[in-house]
């Protein structure tokens, strides 16, 4: 799975690495030796999974991207009311370092420009700049999930040449918008901008915001859910400075850029994208970063306004064939084979809108299991909408599974919510079934053909060799056979009607029968399909209760029946035969109960029987 998305990032990296337009940040001597052609792309899913390409381990100064995280800390320390009285949340349309405040309120336009960021830094709790700086640095490490460095040389250069920021700070103080001294506020702000991160760190910080403020790897909370929403909202409208409107229209993700060459984009509940490339455009944003984010948003359909329903379609549940076999009741020999090899097939039931993040989690799970499987069943009947990128990912994972020797199987509606790509050759197309029952029965047949003894499929069963009588004396079989009647039914004919009080026990010699239950509304629900070598009606005959299900023939069926009338005759005339017959029925009932309990427990019938014997 990693290769599917990583290959996408590699292709993107190869395409944009040749773009050498833009200029790295000027005027900071300590940054003059930076590799201006460095380029890294990283995607962090909201559950912490990382995909990356290029220079994702290169450290760089976080710079203005820090503004979003410090703004969240100020909200936490001072509360929304105090922060809102100090900093507005409106796009400015001006450059990030513009020396201006609102002409009426005297507040900075938003916390993503320098004026708002300096005010936010001053609002961080602490009795000294050292204490404020330590709290900010520690918070960033919680977001990133590791210890982060500090570029002392960059901080020294920016402090020495930071007159513009000082001018902004004194203007804030003049309007009573600082909690600390102006020079202290600038120092804290420039220190936070000098924290060192990698592209991977930045992606994980974004994934923490996407994950409702909890780092998905360390599971430590960095910010409350409500405050994370506020931070992401302001990033959406103001994070890209005077290019914010174009960004929202074309990319559609909450974002923040920095003059160090980093860009962070976040899609709540799904993922974060981080890009590092020092070459900047006229707005101070990374040229390659903007291009890569725009392309990923388009190719992966990540624009926030594209999401019309739930943010994540995903695996509702998954289970192997041992946990949930088909409703087909098979002879003992077949059941033992399926118990031995049922773990080789796994079913994945999907739900919701299948967008990129949902498809990523689905295919990642399938790939994690795939090397140990021979069949992977994807049930997409509960999927509402399938994004093109999700369909491409599923096609890719199906190809990968086949390379590992695992056959993909689809359960889909007749009108196909997940169609095959038109270029797919016939041998590349997955087996498709419209019902779960049909898919599971087909897989069981494949496993039986591969691992079972060579046999004619569902061969006729002779009464005397029926598994039901394997442990009883031949004289009992003779006595019983003389009282039984042979019946034949054509496809679709009713053998037993639900509620029938006179139905006896039926032993299937050839063909299949399907049991169904009538619902309150009148429709019928299929319960089980029985094959030669099995029987039905024994429980209800022995207990004297009406048959609770309707039973119909599937194809031509031949069976033997012991009617209730004949059963009553045996009880009255031959106590020994009656007792043996009850013993046979009870043994069959115990075996069936053991099989059902094994399914519920997710273990083998033989294991369950061994455990119960201890």
Main-chain phi, psi angles of 505, to 5 degrees: -100, 145
Residue 498 C-beta-side C-alpha neighbours within 13 Å: 15
Strands 375-386 and 407-411: parallel
How far, CA to CA in Å, does 523 sit from each of 22, 489, 516? 68, 23, 10
d(CA 465, CA 508): 12
d(CA 483, CA 485): 7
Q: State whether the Cα torsion 578-579-580-582 is positive or negative.
A: positive
In whole angstroms, how large is the CA radius of gyration of the chain? 34
Which CATH number applies to 463-613? 2.60.120.10
Alpha helices in 433-563 (DSSP H): 436-451, 474-481, 538-543
Q: Is it true that 2-306 and 314-451 share their CATH fold? A: no
The 10s digit of each residue's pLDDT in 455-506 is 555 557 777 777 777 777 888 888 888 888 999 999 999 999 999 988 999 9
Q: Residue range 436-449: average pLDDT?
A: 90
Contact 234, 111 (CB under 8 A): yes
Residue 359, number of CB atoms within 10 A of its CB? 27
For every residue of 357-412, DSSP letters joined together read HHHHHHHHHHHHHHTT-SEEEEEEEEEEEE-HHHHHHHHHHHHHHHHTT-EEEEE-
Q: pLDDT band for position 218 (50/70/90)? A: very high
What residues are annotated to the active site? Answer: 64, 67, 189, 241, 259
Residue 119 scores a pLDDT above 80: yes
Please name which of 487, 604, 603, 605 lies closest in space to residue 537, comparing C-alpha atoms.
487
pTM: 0.72
Across the chain, what does the average pLDDT equal?
86
Q: Which of 418-432, 538-552, 575-589 has the lowest mean pLDDT?
A: 418-432
Residue 596 scores a pLDDT above 70: no
d(CA 111, CA 74): 10
Q: Does domain 314-451 have CATH number 3.30.750.24?
A: yes
> What is 2-306's CATH superfamily?
DD-peptidase/beta-lactamase superfamily (3.40.710.10)
What is the structure's pLDDT at 369?
A: 87
Q: Greatest CA separation found in the chain?
A: 112
Residue 374 scores a pLDDT above 60: yes
Burial of 547 (0-12, 13-18, 19+ CB in 10 A): buried
Residues 6+ apart with CB under 8 A from 119: 86, 87, 107, 108, 111, 172, 177, 178, 185
Q: For residue 506, what are the β-bridge partners?
A: 536, 561
d(CA 181, CA 273): 36
Residue 35, number of CB atoms within 10 A of its CB? 11
Q: pLDDT band for position 309 (50/70/90)? A: very low
Q: What whole-number percentage of the chain has pLDDT above 70?
A: 90
Which residues are annotated as part of the binding site for substrate?
A: 64, 114, 158, 165, 189, 241, 259
Residue 360 scores a pLDDT above 90: no
Token code pair at residue 208: 């923490």
**Residue in the structure block whose two tokens are 């194809």:** 555
d(CA 116, CA 79): 16
- Domain map (residue ranges) of the chain: 2-306, 314-451, 463-613
Which residues are annotated as part of the binding site?
A: 64, 114, 158, 165, 189, 241, 259
Q: pLDDT band for position 341 (50/70/90)? A: very high
The 10s digit of each residue's pLDDT in 55-107 is 999 999 999 999 999 999 999 999 999 999 999 998 876 667 787 788 888 89
Contact 198, 151 (CB under 8 A): no
The 10s digit of each residue's pLDDT in 499-557 is 998 899 998 988 889 888 887 777 788 788 888 878 888 888 888 889 999 999 989 99
């Amino acid at each position: 799975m990693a290769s599917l998305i990583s290959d996408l990032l590699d292709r993107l990296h190869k395409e944009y690495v040749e773009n050498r337009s833009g200029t790295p940040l000027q005027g900071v001597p300590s940054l003059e030796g930076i590799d201006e052609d460095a380029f890294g792309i990283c995607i962090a899913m909201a559950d912490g999974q990382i995909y990356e390409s290029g220079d994702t381990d290169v450290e760089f100064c976080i710079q203005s991207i820090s503004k979003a995280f410090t703004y969240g800390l100020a909200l936490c320390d001072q509360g929304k009311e105090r922060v809102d009285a100090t900093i507005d949340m409106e796009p400015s349309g001006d450059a990030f370092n513009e020396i201006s405040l609102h002409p009426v309120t005297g507040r900075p336009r938003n916390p993503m420009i320098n004026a708002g960021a300096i005010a936010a830094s001053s609002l961080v709790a602490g009795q000294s700049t050292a204490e404020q700086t330590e709290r900010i640095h520690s918070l960033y490490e919680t977001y990133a999930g590791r210890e982060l460095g500090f570029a002392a040389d960059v901080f020294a250069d920016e402090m020495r040449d930071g007159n513009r920021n000082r001018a902004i700070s004194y203007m804030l103080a003049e309007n009573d918008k600082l909690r600390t001294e102006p020079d202290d506020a600038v120092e804290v702000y420039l220190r936070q901008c000098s924290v060192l991160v990698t592209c991977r760190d930045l992606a994980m910080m974004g994934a923490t915001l996407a994950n409702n403020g909890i780092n998905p790897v360390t599971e430590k909370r960095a910010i409350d859910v409500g405050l994370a929403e506020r931070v992401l909202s302001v990033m959406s409208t103001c994070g890209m400075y005077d290019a914010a409107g174009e960004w929202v229209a074309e990319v559609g993700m909450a974002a923040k850029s920095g003059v160090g060459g980093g860009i962070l984009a976040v899609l709540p509940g799904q993922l974060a994208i981080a890009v590092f490339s020092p070459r900047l455009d006229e707005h101070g944003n990374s040229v390659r970063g903007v291009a890569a984010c725009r392309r990923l948003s388009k190719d992966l359909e990540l624009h926030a306004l594209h999401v019309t329903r739930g943010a994540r379609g995903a695996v509702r549940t998954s289970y192997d064939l041992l946990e949930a076999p088909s409703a087909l009741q098979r002879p003992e020999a077949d059941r033992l084979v399926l118990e031995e090899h049922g773990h080789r097939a796994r079913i994945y039931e999907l739900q919701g809108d299948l967008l990129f993040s949902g498809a990523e989690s689905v295919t990642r799970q399938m790939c994690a299991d795939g090397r140990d499987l021979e069949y992977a069943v994807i049930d997409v009947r509960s999927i509402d909408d399938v994004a093109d990128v999700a369909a491409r990912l599923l096609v890719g994972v199906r190809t990968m599974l086949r390379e590992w020797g695992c056959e993909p199987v689809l359960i889909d509606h007749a009108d196909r919510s997940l169609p095959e790509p038109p270029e797919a050759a016939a041998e590349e197309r997955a087996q498709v079934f419209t019902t779960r029952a049909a898919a599971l029965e087909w897989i069981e047949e494949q496993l039986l053909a591969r691992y079972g003894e060579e046999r004619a499929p569902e061969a006729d069963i002779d009464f005397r060799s029926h598994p039901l009588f394997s442990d009883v004396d031949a004289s009992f079989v003779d006595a019983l056979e003389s009282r039984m009647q042979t019946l034949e039914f054509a496809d679709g004919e009713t053998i037993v009607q639900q509620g029938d009080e006179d139905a006896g026990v039926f032993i299937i010699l050839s063909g299949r029968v399907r049991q169904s239950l009538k619902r309150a509304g009148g429709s019928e629900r299929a319960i089980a399909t029985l094959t030669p070598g099995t029987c039905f009606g024994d429980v209800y005959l022995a207990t004297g209760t009406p048959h609770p299900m309707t039973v119909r023939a599937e194809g031509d069926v031949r069976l033997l029946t012991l009617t209730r009338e004949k059963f009553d005759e045996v009880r009255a005339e031959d106590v020994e035969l009656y007792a043996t017959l009850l013993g046979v029925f009870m043994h069959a009932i115990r075996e069936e109960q053991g099989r059902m309990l094994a399914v519920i427990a997710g273990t083998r019938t033989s294991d369950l029987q061994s455990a119960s014997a201890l």
